[in-house]
């Protein structure tokens, strides 16, 4: 995932401030999937996750001048998305979900559809077995390509916690893959 | 304290994901390269992480590219429509002011009014209507004077309302927030913004009482005075 440089982001935001709708489209193409993946991981609902994408980019459209340039552009945008996700979770009634509660995910949820499609299906299936925060941590590191400090900022935890989460995420993935691959009828043995 | 082989390996394990993605500090990168050169077996772990990174990336790259655009396009259209309707009102009224009123119409109205007041019954009815309008106008203005707290909601220029900007603990639930604000006698008027801050105003308490109540709550992580500018549609009843 190619990160926009601060200069490129500023250029895009200047166009947004002038009301250039093609700049908003560029932002959506650049960040839409990233925000969606981030939101879907916590919300487990495609409609709500898409609404988070719309709400987040709309806020960027309306308040482009709030980007100070002290962080990466994507970190700033994902920070806005995080608050939209929090709001969506809080709006759910009855409230029973704690953001940082590390409960195992019991179902395969919305990732199920991708599971069946690619050669990395074993990894994907095992990713589904991770807790939300562990999976989010993996996603922020490997897909969003954020540094440990940026992940800590988004997950609202110390950097050491990020390292521990990632360590456990990888360990659990490895265990899950070993268990899957040791099954006699396993056809998903794609990666070593 | 000198590094043990276990602690060195742990450092490698911690850094390897960011080494793979390139999001690593220069000194850590140099350390990793030294470690990999000295420990060829670590290449296996590196390869595993590269594979994992590629799979995770592929996993999310399958998501629809246009996600969220339909909603954005709708909002843009709604925005454009709102701007158009605002723009259309102004030129119309300007044009109306600029166009000369047809003399025929004026003449006809003057003639009609003249005829009206030449008939005593119509003149009496017209006088009654004017009188009633005056009484109603007087009563309405008196009612407004008697309820000054509503004046801020009736199109008057928005004034600054003393408020508080509050940041809640990330794990606070909506229920907890509502219970706290209800107990403290406050209500949310804005937020959360991108930092997660809410703006709250007193409802059944003074600002000082509200500040004290919120300060004591472990749900609140930061609190500061805020000058809130309500729009005309916001209902505010300052104490």
Is the pLDDT confidence value at B69 over 90? yes
ipTM summary value:
0.75
* pLDDT tens digits for range B5-42: 888 998 998 999 999 999 999 999 999 999 999 999 89
Cβ <8 Å between A142 and B13: no
Shortest Cα distance, chain B CAs vs residue A179, angstroms: 17
Of A1, A83, A123, the CB nearest to B196: A83
Phi, psi of B198 (to 5 degrees): -110, 150
Question: Which among A174, A169, A178, A115 is positioned nearest to A142, based on CA atoms?
Answer: A169
Shortest Cα distance, chain A CAs vs residue B72, angstroms: 6
Calculate the average pLDDT of chain B: 73
Nearest-10 Cα torsion for A58, A60, A63, A67: 170
3-state secondary structure of A182: coil
* pLDDT tens digits for range A94-105: 544 444 434 333
Question: Looking at beta carbons, which residues of chain A come within 8 Å of B17?
Answer: 141-142, 166, 170
A63-72, A151-160, B38-47, B199-208: least confident range: B199-208
Cβ <8 Å between B18 and A123: no
Question: Looking at beta carbons, which residues of chain B come within 8 Å of A149?
Answer: none
The secondary structure of B93-110 as a DSSP string is HHHHHHSPPPHHHHHHHH
Of B23, B171, B173, the CB nearest to A146: B23
Question: What end-to-end distance do the CA atoms of chain B give, in Å?
Answer: 62
Taking residue B85's Cβ as centre, other Cβ atoms within 10 Å add up to 9
Is the pLDDT confidence value at A159 over 90? yes
- What lies within 8 Å, CB to CB, of B189 at 6+ separation is B163, B199, B200, B201, B228, B230, B234, B236
| Contact assessment for residue B184 and residue B213, using Cβ atoms and an 8 Å cutoff | yes
Question: Looking at beta carbons, which residues of chain A come within 8 Å of B52?
Answer: 123, 142, 170, 173
* pLDDT tens digits for range B141-196: 444 434 333 333 334 445 778 888 888 877 777 767 777 887 788 888 887 776 67
Question: Looking at beta carbons, which residues of chain A come within 8 Å of B11?
Answer: none
A114-123, B167-176, B225-234: least confident range: A114-123
Shortest Cα distance, chain A CAs vs residue B103, angstroms: 46
| Contact assessment for residue B16 and residue B48, using Cβ atoms and an 8 Å cutoff | no
Chain B contact for A137 (CB, 8 A cutoff): no
Helices (H), chain A: 6-17, 21-43, 46-62, 73-91, 112-115, 121-128, 132-138, 148-155, 159-181
Nearest-angstrom CA–CA distance, B193 and B198: 7
- Which of B16, B47, B56, B57 has the highest number of chain A CBs within 10 A, making it the mutation to test binding with A? B56
Highest mean pLDDT pick, B14-28, B190-204, B225-239? B14-28
| Contact assessment for residue A167 and residue B17, using Cβ atoms and an 8 Å cutoff | no
Strands across the sheet containing B220-228:
B186-190, B197-202, B161-168, B220-228
Residues in chain B: 239
Shortest Cα distance, chain A CAs vs residue B179, angstroms: 13
3-state secondary structure of B131: helix
Is the pLDDT confidence value at B76 over 70? yes
Mean pLDDT of B70-79: 92
B74 or B139, greater pLDDT? B74
Nearest-angstrom CA–CA distance, A76 and A73: 5
Helices (H), B147-238: 174-184, 207-215
Cβ <8 Å between A66 and B56: no
Chain B contact for A170 (CB, 8 A cutoff): yes
Of B14, B67, B170, the CB nearest to A32: B67
* pLDDT tens digits for range A54-81: 999 999 999 999 998 888 899 999 999 9
Mean pLDDT of A29-47: 93
Which two structure tokens, joined as six digits, stand for B80? Answer: 């454009």
> What pTM value is reported for the model?
0.57
What percentage of chain B has pLDDT greater than the value 70?
Answer: 65
Cβ <8 Å between B18 and A147: yes
């Amino acid at each position: 995932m190619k990160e926009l440089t601060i200069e490129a982001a500023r250029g895009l935001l200047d166009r947004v401030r002038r009301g250039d709708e093609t700049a908003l489209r560029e932002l959506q193409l650049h960040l839409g999937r990233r925000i969606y993946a981030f939101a879907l991981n916590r919300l487990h609902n495609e409609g709500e996750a898409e609404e988070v994408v719309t709400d987040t980019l709309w806020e960027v459209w309306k308040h482009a001048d709030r980007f100070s340039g002290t962080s990466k552009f994507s970190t700033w945008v994902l920070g806005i998305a995080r608050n939209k996700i929090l709001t969506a979770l809080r709006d759910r009634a009855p409230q029973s979900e704690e953001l940082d509660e590390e409960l195992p995910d019991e179902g395969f949820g919305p990732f199920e559809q991708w599971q069946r499609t690619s050669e990395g299906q074993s990894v994907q299936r095992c990713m589904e077995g991770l807790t939300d925060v562990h999976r989010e941590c993996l996603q922020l590191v490997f897909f969003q390509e954020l540094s440990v400090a940026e992940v800590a900022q988004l997950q609202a935890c110390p950097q050491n916690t990020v390292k521990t989460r990632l360590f456990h995420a990888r360990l659990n993935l490895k265990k899950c893959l070993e268990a899957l691959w040791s099954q006699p009828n396993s056809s998903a043995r794609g990666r070593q | 304290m000198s590094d043990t082989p276990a602690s060195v390996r742990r450092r490698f394990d911690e850094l390897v994901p960011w080494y793979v993605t390139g999001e690593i500090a220069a000194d850590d990168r140099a350390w990793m390269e030294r470690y990999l050169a000295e420990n060829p077996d670590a290449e296996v772990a590196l390869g595993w992480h590269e594979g994992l990174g590629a799979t995770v990336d592929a996993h999310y790259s399958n998501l629809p590219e246009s996600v969220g655009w339909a909603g954005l396009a709708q909002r843009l259209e709604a925005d454009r429509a709102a701007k158009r309707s605002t723009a259309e009102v102004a030129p119309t009224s300007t044009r109306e002011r600029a166009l000369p009123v047809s003399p025929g119409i004026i003449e006809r109205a003057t003639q009609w009014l003249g005829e009206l007041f030449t008939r005593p019954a119509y003149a009496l009815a017209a006088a009654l209507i004017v009188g009633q309008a005056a009484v109603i106008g007087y009563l309405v203005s008196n009612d407004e004077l008697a309820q000054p707290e509503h004046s801020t909601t009736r199109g008057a220029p928005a004034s600054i309302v003393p408020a508080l900007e509050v940041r809640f603990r990330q794990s606070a639930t909506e229920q907890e927030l509502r219970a706290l604000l209800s107990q403290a006698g406050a209500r949310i008027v804005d937020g959360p913004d991108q930092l997660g801050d809410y703006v709250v105003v007193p409802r059944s308490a003074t600002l000082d009482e509200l500040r004290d109540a919120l300060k004591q709550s472990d749900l609140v992580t930061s609190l500061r005075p805020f000058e809130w500018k309500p729009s005309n549609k916001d209902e505010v009843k300052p104490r």
